Amino acid sequence: MSREAILERVRTALGRKPGDVPAPPPPVYLSQVRTTVEQRIDRFTAALEALAGRVIRCPSRDCARDAVNEIIAGKRVIASRASYLRECGIEPEWTECSRADVGITGADYALADTGTLVLLSGAEESRLVSLLPPKHVAVLPVSRLIDSLDELFVRVPLPADATSSMVFITGPSRTADIEQILVRGVHGPGDVTVVLVDD
Amino acid sequence: MSGAFVPVDRLRETIADQRLQGAIYTATGRLIEKRASVVSPEVLPDYQDLREQARCLKQHTLENLDYYLEQLEANVTAHGGHVVWCNSGEEVADFILGLARQRGASLIVKSKSMTTEEIDLNERLEEHQLQAVETDLGEYILQLAHERPYHIVAPALHKTRREVADLFADRLGVPHDEVIENQTLTARRVLREKFLAAGIGVTGANFLVADSGAVVVVENEGNARLTSSAPPIHIAIAGIEKLIPRAQDLPVFLKLLGRSATGQPLTVYTSFLSGPRRPGELDGPDEFHLVLLDNGRTKLLADAAKRESLFCIRCGACLNHCPVYRKIGGYNYPGTYSGPIGAIITPQYQGVLKHPWLPFASSLCGACAEVCPVKIDIPRLLLELRSEVVRGRSGVERLAFRAFAWLGTHPRAYTFVTAMAARLAPGGENGWLRSLPFFARFGVFEKWLSQRDIPAPARQSFRQYWRNRAKSGPAA
C-alpha cells in the first residue's frame, strides 16, 4: 500500500522508527502590540482603501442599516445569517446566491494591519455569499477589529475546531495575469465595502 | 525538452526575441520592486527574523516528517476528510478517475497548482475523457494555448493582450478584444458556469497544517475559493513537504509568502480548510479528499546535504531576481520548475546526468539565496550538484581535465604542447580564438568550445621571450 511505502521511505530517509516522538517544534512566534480602537480603525481604513476597498464608519446600528439599504437599493441581494446583521435590522429579501448583485455578510474578525476580513463559516456565515456576487458588503462592530494576523492566531489557535473553512479576505478579487495589468473582480467580488459600526 | 547539452538554439531564439525579453524583464522587474517595498526594515523590521523562523520550522518539520504526516492524517480523518497517499502521478490520476466514475462527475474545475503540473494531471485525466478546466486566469490562458507555466506565480508572463485576444476569439468564439478588463470578464463569465456545473474541484495547497488537519490555499482571484467550495467534492493535492506543525505557525509563512511572491503583505484570499461541510454549516463540499504525493520527494529527503531543497514555498522570488532566468525565461529550463529553484530540484528529481548543464546555468551571484524567504542556500546546492555531475561523468571531459592537470605539472611537456599550439593556431582574431582549427572540430571539443572563446596562443612563449631577451640584452 502506498501509505506504508511512503512512510517507510520517509523513515528510512530520516533514520527514524515508527512511533519516534520528535523534540518539540521551535516556539510559536506571535507578537502582540497594544493599540487603541481609533488606531486600529485608522490602520484598517488606510490598508483597505489602498487596495481599492471602501470603509463606511457608522456611529450606530441604525446608521449601518441605512448605509446598507442605500447600497442595495434596486439590487438583487443575498445575505448570510450573521446575527449581527439581524441586530442591525438588515434583513433584505433574498435571491439565489449565484444570481445576486450584492452579498452581505458579517465578519468574525477584521485585521487592522492588512485591511483583512476574517470569516469562519458555520451556521451564521457561508463560504459563498462573500464570493459569488460581484459586490461584497461586510457589516461588523468595531469591537471585532483586532490588530494583526498574530493576534488572530492567539485568539483562535485552532480554527479547525470551530469550522471547516476560515477565510481571510484582503480587498477585492484581483489578477495581473495579462501583461501585469491589475484588474479587479476576476472571480470574486471586484467591490468590497466594510461597514464599521461603533457598537 | 531533454538532452545532455545546453539547448543553444532555443536560447538564442529567446534572447533574440525583443518582445519576449521586454516582457520578462518588465514583469520580473515589477515583482522585484513590489517585493522590495514590503520587506524593507522600515515596513517590516522583523523580516530577517521571520526568514530564520520559517527556515527552522521547515527544517524541524521535515526532519520529523513521518510524525507530522501521521498527525495530519489523523486530524483530517477526525474532521470527516479522507487522506489518499500516492507514490506517483499515475496513482493520483487513478484515484481521481475512480472517484469521478463512482460519483458520476464528468467536469473538474482546477485552481492553480504546480504539483499537478508536475504530474501532468490534466493530460492524464483527458486521456480518460475527464475534462479538467484550469480556472486561474493565467493558467486558463495557457490551457487554451496548450502551453506550460512560464513562471511559478505569473504563469502567463510571456503572453501579450493581443495573443490572448486571438486565443479567446479562436477557442471561445468571442469577438477579438484587446482590452484586458474585457478579457478578464470573458474568463469570469465562461468559468463561472464551469464552477457551478463541476462535480469535483481540485486545488493544490500552499501549506498543510498538522495540528489542524487543514490545507491552506493562498490566491488573489477567488478561483481557489470557488474550486474548493462550489462543487460537491473538493480534492486537494499536495506534496508531502508542504507540512507545518501548527496553525499558529501560519503567520510566519503567510507574512513571507505574499510579500516574496507579489509584494503583498497578505494575498487577497487565504483559505484555511479542514474537511467537508460540517453539520449546521450553510454551504461547502460534501466530501473532502487530501492527496499526499511523494513523486520523488522522499529521494530528496534522504539526502541530508540537499534536504533544504524541500523547504521551498514556491514564491518565485528566486526567479525574478535571477539574472539567468531574466534572460532565458521559463521554457529553457527542463522540468516543471524553472529558475534557480528548478535548477536545484529538477536534477534531484530526474537525475543529475539527465541535464548535466543545468546546475551550471548560473553565475552563482547569490541573489536567489538573498531573497529566499526560507533561506535555501541555492548557490551551495548548485555547487553540490556540479560536483555530482563531474563525479558522475566518465567521459572525455574528465579525461581532458586530467590530461590538462598532467600537462600543468610537467614543464617540458607543457612547453612542447604550447609551442605546438602557437604554431598550429596562430594569431586569432584580436587575440581571441573564436573557432578551432579544422582538425580539432569534432565531437565534444567542438560542442565545448562552441560557447567559449579562448585567448589565442602568443606567437612567442614567455620562456622563449626570456631566452631571446637574455641573448640580445634588455630592451631599451
SS3 B299: helix
pLDDT at B1: 40
How close is the nearest chain B Cα to the Cα of A145, in Å? 17
Could you tell me which residues come within 8 angstroms of residue A10 by beta carbon, excluding any fewer than 6 positions away? A16, B65, B66, B69, B240, B298, B301
- Choose among B160, B249, B284: nearest Cβ to A28: B249
SS3 B201: strand
Nearest to B206 by CA among B161, B267, B145: B267
Which CATH code is given to the segment(s) B46-295?
3.40.50.10420
What average pLDDT is seen over chain B? 93
Mean pLDDT over residues A60-79, rounded? 97
Q: What is the ipTM of this complex?
A: 0.98
- Chosen for mutation from A156, A186, A192 (greatest number of chain B CBs closer than 10 Å) is A186
- Chosen for mutation from A109, A120, A127, A153 (greatest number of chain B CBs closer than 10 Å) is A127
Pairwise CA distance, residues A88 & B453, whole Å:
78
Q: Is it the case that residue B453 has pLDDT exceeding 80?
A: no
Q: What are B160's three cell numbers? A: 501579450
pLDDT at B444: 67
Contact in structure between B243 and B210 (CB atoms under 8 Å): yes
pTM reported for the whole predicted model: 0.90
Angle at B180 between CA B174 and CA B184, to 5 degrees: 65
How close is the nearest chain A Cα to the Cα of B173, in Å? 19
Task: Count contacts between A and B (CB, < 8 Å).
Answer: 260
pLDDT at B2: 42
pLDDT digits (tens, 9 = 90+) for B212-261: 999 999 999 999 999 999 999 999 999 999 999 999 999 999 999 999 99
Pairwise CA distance, residues B355 & B178, whole Å:
39
Ranges of CATH 3.40.50.10420 domains, chain B: 46-295
Task: Collect all residues of chain B within an 8 Å Cβ-Cβ radius of residue A187.
Answer: 135, 188, 191-192, 221-223, 225-226
Residue B232: which H helix or E strand, with range?
none
Which of 163-182 (A) contact B at CB < 8 A?
163-181
Task: Collect all residues of chain B within an 8 Å Cβ-Cβ radius of residue A125.
Answer: 282
Nearest to B267 by CA among A172, A159, A45: A172
Give the up-direction half-sphere exposure of residue B70: CA atoms within 13 A in the CB hemisphere: 15
User: Could you tell me which residue, A29 or A67, shows the higher pLDDT?
Assistant: A67
Task: Collect all residues of chain B within an 8 Å Cβ-Cβ radius of residue A163.
Answer: 274, 278, 281
Task: Collect all residues of chain A within an 8 Å Cβ-Cβ radius of residue B247.
Answer: 153, 157-160
> What residue ranges define each of the domains in chain A, with the CATH number in brackets?
36-197 (3.40.50.10420)
Q: Is it the case that residue B284 has pLDDT exceeding 70?
A: yes
Burial class (CB in 10 A: 0-12, 13-18, 19+), B342: buried
Q: Is it the case that residue B429 has pLDDT exceeding 80?
A: no
Nearest to B325 by CA among B364, B362, B376: B362
User: Could you tell me which residue, B7 or B344, shows the higher pLDDT?
Assistant: B344
Residue A137: which H helix or E strand, with range?
strand A135-141
Task: Collect all residues of chain B within an 8 Å Cβ-Cβ radius of residue A98.
Answer: 192, 196
How close is the nearest chain B Cα to the Cα of A129, in Å? 10
pLDDT digits (tens, 9 = 90+) for B329-370: 999 999 999 999 999 999 999 999 999 999 998 999 999 999
Pairwise CA distance, residues B418 & B424, whole Å:
10
How big is chain B by its Cα radius of gyration, in Å? 27
- Choose among A11, A13, A150: nearest Cβ to B251: A150
Nearest to B107 by CA among B129, B90, B92: B129
Task: Collect all residues of chain B within an 8 Å Cβ-Cβ radius of residue A114.
Answer: 265-266
Mean pLDDT over residues B401-411, rounded? 90
Share of chain B above pLDDT 70, in %: 95
Residue contact B269–A168, C-beta within 8 A: yes
Residue A146: which H helix or E strand, with range?
strand A145-146
Pairwise CA distance, residues B283 & B354, whole Å:
48
How close is the nearest chain A Cα to the Cα of B193, in Å? 10
Could you tell me which residues come within 8 angstroms of residue B222 by beta carbon, excluding any fewer than 6 positions away? A131, A173, A186, A187, A188, A189, B268, B269
Share of chain B above pLDDT 90, in %: 81
